[in-house]
Amino acid sequence: MPLLVVALIGLAALPVGQWLVELIVRPVTVSELVDRRVGLSTRLVAVDGYALLVPFAADPGAGATTGAAAPHWYAVRDSLQERRLVLVRSTVLPDALRTRTVEARIVDDPLAVSGTVDGIVARGGSATGDTLAPWLLDEVERGSRVSATDIGSLAELDQRAVGDVVRLRLTVTEGIASCLPRGDCRARRLADGIGSWDYLAADSAGGRVVLRTGYPPSVAPFHGVGHHAQDRDAVAGLLATPFADGLLGWGRVLEAAYVEHDLRLPIDRLWLGPILFSAVAAVVLLGLWLGYPRFRSRGPGGLASERAERSQRVLRCRATGRLTPPGLSPFEVSDTAATLSAEPDGGSLLAFGAGATRREVAIPRGLGSLGAVEVGDWVRVRGGLPALQVGWFGSQVLLVFDDAPTRDRAAAVVLGG
């Protein structure tokens, strides 16, 4: 049992260690990084924002392995209206950012659905209505505290009501501005990222739906956890390229630092609670099954030499159990100091307390009167002590001793010569 407890503690230490590592992962905004409100002493950061889906090839680095995914630079900002950018070096591909878990409200708007399909087809898209869900999914704003129901596929929308918020994984493909079918688009507002956009999105089962979001097809939500690094040359080299200069020149790009996205960093601690709970439950259940603390019998073997000599010494012990003296009311003791001594007639005497409150109980001699005499150990989680279990005429008592020789002499006294 002690070894098992140590093993479980060691197992629980693994997620605890990871959790302690995650404690120093600081959530930051892009503006904090750009304005130098986060120093390089904050080594691990978590950045949430919108990544421009135009990745720039990055140097694989000295530690890159053959066959590993090539890293890219992503320009990430807090919101569509934010002009400040931070560069994230990541091996995540743009197509992977298009597949994500969304939380969206079910909206009954057939005109918006048909208008999106017609608008995409008119611009050379491949929209079809064969497997298209009749409802519109309107993605809830990021950070909104709404109760969402997890569903596995778009086919389960039939089981939900209009207005419900569902959570599912979708791959977002083609999209247009929501104002295009209505013909009331304002180019300046769209250029500033103000408005909504309707996409065609598909689930893993092949179902398709129109998904409305608050960001255009050129960006995607991005969550990156990694090292807050510093490499002026790498960032300056990227910004010096004509393509990056033309696309990002208008932004206040952070030139002193960037985020090195590390996919191996543990960012989900939800499994820590179940593991610790399982470990504690295992210890409790095993303890209940084994009955700790408990008496472990060693049997009467090995006491032949002790039975031949009945010690006259008073042997000290701790007694626990129920005793039924002849002609007296039964009583119980729990871990009570007691003494055991031999009687002249061959029996033994178990005494409790001292002075006027002293109580004595005679233990009959010989196995003919004794119900049971077992030699063993009183086992606890942290070790054990030598013990003797004695039963007679409705009495059952456990005697615990400081050492094995005293326990064996007590067995000789109880068993008689």
Is residue 119 included in any domain, yes or no? yes
Say whether both 207 and 229 belong to one domain: no
Higher confidence at residue 305 or residue 33?
33
Q: What is the pLDDT of residues 147-160, one digit of tens each?
A: 899 999 999 998 99
Say whether both 200 and 344 belong to one domain: no
Separation of alpha carbons 396 and 321, rounded Å: 6
Is residue 332 included in any domain, yes or no? yes
Q: What is the pLDDT of residues 288-307, one digit of tens each?
A: 666 567 778 776 544 444 44
Say whether both 201 and 344 belong to one domain: no
Identify the pLDDT of residue 6: 62
Say whether both 208 and 225 belong to one domain: no
Which of 3-17, 79-93, 122-136, 381-395 shows the lowest mean pLDDT across its residues?
Answer: 3-17
Q: What is the mean pLDDT of the chain?
A: 79
Residue 4 has pLDDT above 60, yes or no: no
What 3 state SS string does the chain have? CHHHHHHHHHHHHHHHHHHHHHHCCEEECHHHHHCCCCCCCCCEEEEEEEEECCCEECCCCCCCCCCCCCCEEEEEECCCCCCEEEEEEECCCHHHHHEEEEEEEEECCHHHHHHHHHHHHHCCCCCCCCCEEEEEEEECCCCCCCCCEECCCHHHHHHCCCCCEEEEEEEEEEEEECCCCCCCCCHHHHHCCCCCEEEEEECCCCCEEEEEECCCCCEEEEEEEEEEECCHHHHHHHHCCHHHHHHHCCCEECCCCEEEECCCCCCCCCCHHHHHHHHHHHHHHHHHHHCCCEEEECCCCCCHHHHCCCCCCCEEEEEEEEECCCCCCCEEEEEEEEEEEECCCCCEEEEECCHHHCEEEEECCHHHHCCEEEEEEEEECCEEEEEEEEEECCEEEEEECCCHHHHHHHHHHHHCC
Is residue 279 included in any domain, yes or no? no
Higher confidence at residue 286 or residue 163?
163
Which of 15-29, 51-65, 189-203, 350-364 shows the lowest mean pLDDT across its residues?
Answer: 15-29
- Average pLDDT for 340-354: 82
Say whether both 405 and 319 belong to one domain: yes
Q: What is the pLDDT of residues 73-114, one digit of tens each?
A: 888 988 888 878 888 888 888 888 899 999 999 999 999 999
Say whether both 176 and 111 belong to one domain: yes
Confidence class for position 71, pLDDT limits 50, 70, 90: confident
Say whether both 101 and 34 belong to one domain: no
Higher confidence at residue 155 or residue 69?
155
Is residue 201 included in any domain, yes or no? yes
Closest CA to 399 of 409, 413, 410, 412: 410
φ and ψ of 369, to 5 deg: -100, -25
Is residue 299 included in any domain, yes or no? yes
- Average pLDDT for 246-263: 70
Identify the pLDDT of residue 188: 85
Identify the pLDDT of residue 266: 54
Residue 172 has pLDDT above 60, yes or no: yes
Confidence class for position 137, pLDDT limits 50, 70, 90: very high
Identify the pLDDT of residue 306: 45
Domain boundary among 206, 237, 261: 261
Say whether both 138 and 185 belong to one domain: yes
How many Å is the maximal CA-CA distance in the chain?
A: 115
Amino acid (1-letter code) at residue 47: V
Instruction: Centre a 10 Å sphere on the Cβ of residue 353 and count the other Cβ atoms it contains.
Output: 14
Q: What is the pLDDT of residues 350-387, one digit of tens each?
A: 998 755 677 888 888 765 555 678 898 888 766 789 99
Say whether both 81 and 122 belong to one domain: no
φ and ψ of 152, to 5 deg: -85, -30
Identify the pLDDT of residue 165: 94
- Average pLDDT for 13-38: 71
Identify the pLDDT of residue 268: 47
Say whether both 110 and 257 belong to one domain: no
Residue 68 has pLDDT above 70, yes or no: no
Identify the pLDDT of residue 193: 82
Is residue 244 included in any domain, yes or no? yes
Say whether both 81 and 114 belong to one domain: no
Which of 3-7, 137-141, 213-217, 247-251 shows the lowest mean pLDDT across its residues?
Answer: 3-7
Confidence class for position 59, pLDDT limits 50, 70, 90: confident
Domain boundary among 150, 183, 217: 217
Question: Could you identify the residue written with the tokens 């050379």?
Answer: 124
Is residue 197 included in any domain, yes or no? yes
Identify the pLDDT of residue 5: 58
Say whether both 226 and 144 belong to one domain: no
Q: Which structural domain, as residue segments, surrounds residue 194?
A: 97-217
State the total domains in the chain: 3
- HSE-up (13 A, CA, CB side) for residue 8: 16
**pTM reported for the whole predicted model:** 0.56
Separation of alpha carbons 43 and 62, rounded Å: 20
Is residue 275 included in any domain, yes or no? no
Identify the pLDDT of residue 67: 57
Strands 149-150 and 165-177 turn out to be parallel
Identify the pLDDT of residue 304: 41
Identify the pLDDT of residue 91: 86
Percentage of the chain exceeding pLDDT 70: 77
